[in-house]
Amino acid sequence: MPFLKLTSDFLFKTLFSQNPDLLAYLVNSALGKAQVSSVKIINPAIPKEILSDKLSVLDIKAKDQYNNIFHIEMQASPQDFYTKRAIYYWAKLYFRQLNQGNLYSDLKKVYSISFLNFSGIPHSKRYHFTFLTLDKYDPKIRLTDDFEVHILEIPRFKKTLEELESSLDRWLYVIKRSSRLKEKEMEAIIEKNPIMEKTFSELERISMDEKTRELYEMREIGLHDYNTNIQSAFERGEKRGIRKGQKREHKRTIRNTAIKLRSSGMSLEFMSQITELSIPWLKKFFEKIEKSSSKNGA
């Protein structure tokens, strides 16, 4: 049985919430350094009722051995303003540290690590972005070490198995191809990163669990229905807009035709037959034109 897709926010959270050691390894891979030795998951539970809430966020909040805070998320569906949302979540986690009586010096660093199954950063072909607070004129000067936002865009990751260089490359390869991984691919990845053997073992266990598959499918169907409804609403609105535009253009053409016929000396009866506009309507229409012309002339 193939693994379930790790680009599912539900499966992503399930795997890493149940395996904090794998999460620590993933975090270190994203940061590019062995900084985190252990993590504690702050929000491990996935309430069943939120799976049917299409707008619910299945993120992971964790703390490392120094109480630094991590916000890790798999975002499967495209969002036009995802970068703003990422900063907003970072700000909430940073702000909530400062309880009454705490000092600003007590504030810990907050990392945001977002895996996106879509491209959200324009004008670039890179797949890993790291945002810091640096001085505009001298990037060596950093306002604070407390802000660090990583965005990893999975569709832009194009490396083949033979081209994988880092542990992050191997993670992205597994995340992108989890439901299509072959035995030889897994063996090659384990050879370079032995901890990935546990990743594949856990993926197999979770994917074969009947209850997990049921919840996974519930989430996938919910997101699919939501995205379909959004697309359908957009298409209906687009069609209505086209129809309205076509009607406006048709009316404009008919009125211009009436004006040309009148300038050629045609009768109201003839104009009515050609344009299918009533004679009373044509009379009022030309009266308005004449009034407007006289005002402009005055």
Both structure tokens of 253? 């053409």
From residue 100, how far is each of 41, 90, 106 by CA, in Å?
24, 20, 12
- Give 6's contacts (C-beta < 8 A, 6+ positions apart): 12, 15, 74, 174, 175, 178, 203
Residues 88, 20, 182: CA angle, nearest 5 degrees = 100
How confident is the prediction for the chain on average, in pLDDT? Answer: 86
Predicted pLDDT at 221: 79
Predicted pLDDT at 100: 64
Predicted pLDDT at 46: 83
Predicted pLDDT at 101: 72
Question: Is the confidence at residue 198, as pLDDT, over 90?
Answer: yes
Strand order in the sheet with 142-153: 39-41, 60-64, 69-75, 110-116, 142-153, 128-134
Maximum average pLDDT range among 53-57, 125-129, 228-232: 125-129
At 55, the pLDDT band (50, 70, 90 cuts) reads low
> How does strand 39-41 pair with strand 69-75?
unpaired
Average pLDDT over residues 229-237: 54
At 290, the pLDDT band (50, 70, 90 cuts) reads confident
Residues 139, 140, 141: CA angle, nearest 5 degrees = 85
- 152 exposed, middle or buried (CB, 10 Å; 0-12, 13-18, 19+)? buried
Question: Is the confidence at residue 175, as pLDDT, over 60?
Answer: yes
Predicted pLDDT at 66: 94
Predicted pLDDT at 192: 95
Average pLDDT over residues 161-187: 97
Whole-prediction pTM value? 0.73
Question: Is the confidence at residue 150, as pLDDT, over 70?
Answer: yes
